[in-house]
Structure 1
């Protein structure tokens, strides 16, 4: 198939794929609606219809396809073969679109002076040859040119970018035309790589806000889910709550009813040399879909019946740090409690959870002010904090959301906005139940947190 024809679209075919997955193909100014609900189905139908016209005319046709991911000039023949058609004068994409090999760079002649095959310049006088030493033939060493190690070349092969999987680029890849990912897909892959990083030694995240209902528990659960899904096992969500913490209510229960008090009672064994890695399963609740563990408080007991001291926090943290690489701590609302303050002493990365409601946002800001004055280490945690702003109310306007987000940009290292999602309102939370845009936002939040561990 000849794909070198001019891409000015003289054939008169233009197609548009809408965000809802429907499309329209315009042939000689006549629109043909395509009633699809997914972009990939629309692309296949555009190719099929264009190929049908190409068969009737017995010639490949240009079709200019426009969708949210970009505009693509294509050539389609009667057999539904598709090629990318570079605009006239524009550089063609990298292989497989152009099979012509790149011109080989001319090897440099290491010998000083005129190049081989050229006459010496008038001002040049050949240097007299030196007499060879009688022993030079025996003493001379053969200098082998440097070679590329097999290990390095193999690593370069492994680090080649994977082709696109999303949008029109991904559809073209699935048709057999390998395309590089777009900017949005590259950004998502970069966030996934940051989240998948494993650090030397355990890391602790504290999710805080002095106001109840500000989103601390959902933030704890979904950050733990993202780190576990993309980074592998070894993630613990800990309900560090003196009162009736709800982390256990919003996550799956294991085959037992153990809480942090049971773990505290067994801490001597869990920290001993006789303990095995699987022993900790007696005290945590594994989340089978999201692949992290939960250490529950006792939500049905009064706070007076389950007091946890600062020393208890130290003990439980020692156990958690032995069995887990990442600890995400859900916190209570009393910032004066020794349990809360000792959590801060163990924290490597602070996360401020807030909704778009003014009282939640102000409580988080006041907490940052208090930490900035507590001590030097707490001040650094506050300065390096990540804010997660969840739109808990679907009726919140864009201006209201931006006001909170922009305000936190002045207070913390980074701020991530989480869109409203009905799957976050009540019941058990699962990352897979969220809308794609919400999943992407939580991935961004976890990646921002992970970047705060660099150098820690």
Structure 2
């Protein structure tokens, strides 16, 4: 009854943003909202809308927009909120959906998914199996006197529902409606995020090694190592180490927390016999790695001795990898820029999943292509890694710093062009938006903008699917 009273006048649009701001527009008059968090923005927005409904003495219809998509709600003069019934569309005007893109990027607003029936197909099928006679069963009048021939085996019957119960929406306008007691299904974007979280939360049998490679410097290798390690460690709870496998000095130690010591991979190699002995305890590895207190992974630094000229050999990679696989389930390896180096090639030997980061600059993209081409030309395990690789394309930082509208558009177009160019040649391509928290200083997952966190979650899920 409330919906039938809600007219298209006044035209009300409500926008919720992830940065603690929002906007309610009533017949062209905009009311900006700033609050401490999303819930406070929603509360203030509903108060404005309820006031309008009370002045009119009838419910009002509101078009909502939030990071998960768009929808329509009805708000009564008493502040009661309900979801508007989906508009009926003519089959003749139905548009064929566009094909799914081959690249993954930071989620954009999506249309609301169609309503799901109250009873899922699995529930219906299970109930029918338990209550409906088999197709070839004889009618009751023709059944044997004892009815034994018409009975089904208990082995073919189950009262368990195999489909998981879908939890209600938790975010945006759908989330606030669920908290108000109106159960709303999650948006398509929230469902996609839940799926990515399930993927990165899995435990797999045996250790896994991820190699992050690009023969060109400045391609975002180190930030990629940190982000993948942080997300996989946070969600899966698996013991994770980020290993700087540069030929000499690497930058991973500069972009992460330092522990209470100065030890590096060379110290770990020197103590390998002790660490691999049957009497060694798990906590002893802490003497050689640097724990990331908020992101829950460890860092094995490269040698930082300015006066030293030691370059890690293939045999030393063997020793270090043997030690790390004893103490960790997941190893994410940073790398140098020389694909001919002995330690680089030995790293590839142990790699289960290859990741190729690239910034949206053509020379970085070309270096990434040549890196993949080199591996593919070697055949066997190396070629399979190249075909199964995940390419991560990050937007250029130069255009963002300029804050020029044309430069920003060109940066996005270039990132899209590069991503589409790699898509036919690898297993997955993920686009990452620019984020100042990744440019300088220590990298922390919690310091990233929500859209950047979401994009890196998608990247980590693409990597984990290769395990």
Shorter chain as denominator, the TM-score bin is 0.7 to 0.9
CA distance in 2, matches of 1:87, 1:143: 42
Structure 2 residues without counterparts, runs of 5 or longer: 90-112, 119-123, 400-406
CA distance in 1, matches of 2:265, 2:73: 60
**Higher normalized contact order (CA 8 Å, seq sep 6+, divided by chain length):** 2
Contact 2:242 2:297 in 1 (8 A): yes
Map residues 337-416 of structure 1 onto 2, 5 A cutoff: 337-395=341-399, 397=410, 398-416=412-430
Contact 1:313 1:343 in 2 (8 A): yes
User: What per-residue deviation string (whole Å, max 9, x for no partner) do you get for residues 43-89 of structure 1?
Assistant: 433432443455566x65132233242121314242x2222232587
CA distance in 1, matches of 2:389, 2:342: 21
Query: Which residue, out of 219, 226, 245, partners 1:221?
Result: 226
Structure 2 residue aligned with 1:193: 198
Map residues 269-348 of structure 1 onto 2, 5 A cutoff: 269-302=274-307, 304=309, 306-348=310-352
CA distance in 2, matches of 1:12, 1:105: 48
Map residues 41-440 of structure 1 onto 2, 5 A cutoff: 41-52=40-51, 54-55=53-54, 60-68=58-66, 69-78=69-78, 80-86=79-85, 108=132, 145=154, 152=160, 159-302=164-307, 304=309, 306-395=310-399, 397=410, 398-440=412-454
Q: 1:6 to 1:324 in 2, by over 3 A?
A: same
Contact 1:242 1:308 in 2 (8 A): yes
User: SS of the counterpart of 1:36?
Assistant: strand
Q: 1:147 to 1:10 in 2, by over 3 A?
A: same
Bigger radius of gyration? 1
Q: 1:394 to 1:436 in 2, by over 3 A?
A: farther
Contact 2:168 2:178 in 1 (8 A): yes
Map residues 12-31 of structure 1 onto 2, 5 A cutoff: 12=10, 14-17=12-15, 21-26=21-26, 29=27, 31=28
TM-superposed deviation, 1:145: 4.9
Note if 1:443 corresponds to 2:440: no
CA distance in 2, matches of 1:310, 1:193: 36
CA distance in 2, matches of 1:87, 1:333: 54
CA distance in 1, matches of 2:286, 2:181: 46
Q: 1:113 to 1:368 in 2, by over 3 A?
A: closer
TM-superposed deviation, 1:347: 0.5
TM-superposed deviation, 1:412: 2.1
User: What per-residue deviation string (whole Å, max 9, x for no partner) do you get for residues 192-237 of structure 1?
Assistant: 1111111100010011111222211111111111111111131110
Larger helix proportion of the pair: 2
CA distance in 1, matches of 2:246, 2:311: 9
User: What per-residue deviation string (whole Å, max 9, x for no partner) do you get for residues 260-280 of structure 1?
Assistant: 111111111211210111111
Contact 1:244 1:302 in 2 (8 A): no
User: SS of the counterpart of 1:212?
Assistant: coil
User: SS of the counterpart of 2:227?
Assistant: helix
Structure 1 residues without counterparts, runs of 5 or longer: 97-101, 117-125
Q: 1:95 to 1:170 in 2, by over 3 A?
A: farther
User: SS of the counterpart of 1:249?
Assistant: helix
User: SS of the counterpart of 2:72?
Assistant: strand
Count of matched residue positions in the alignment of Structure 1 and Structure 2:
420
CA distance in 2, matches of 1:92, 1:362: 42
CA distance in 2, matches of 1:424, 1:55: 48
Structure 1 residue aligned with 2:30: 33
Q: 1:10 to 1:365 in 2, by over 3 A?
A: closer
Q: 1:94 to 1:184 in 2, by over 3 A?
A: closer
CA distance in 1, matches of 2:207, 2:236: 13
TM-superposed deviation, 1:149: 6.2
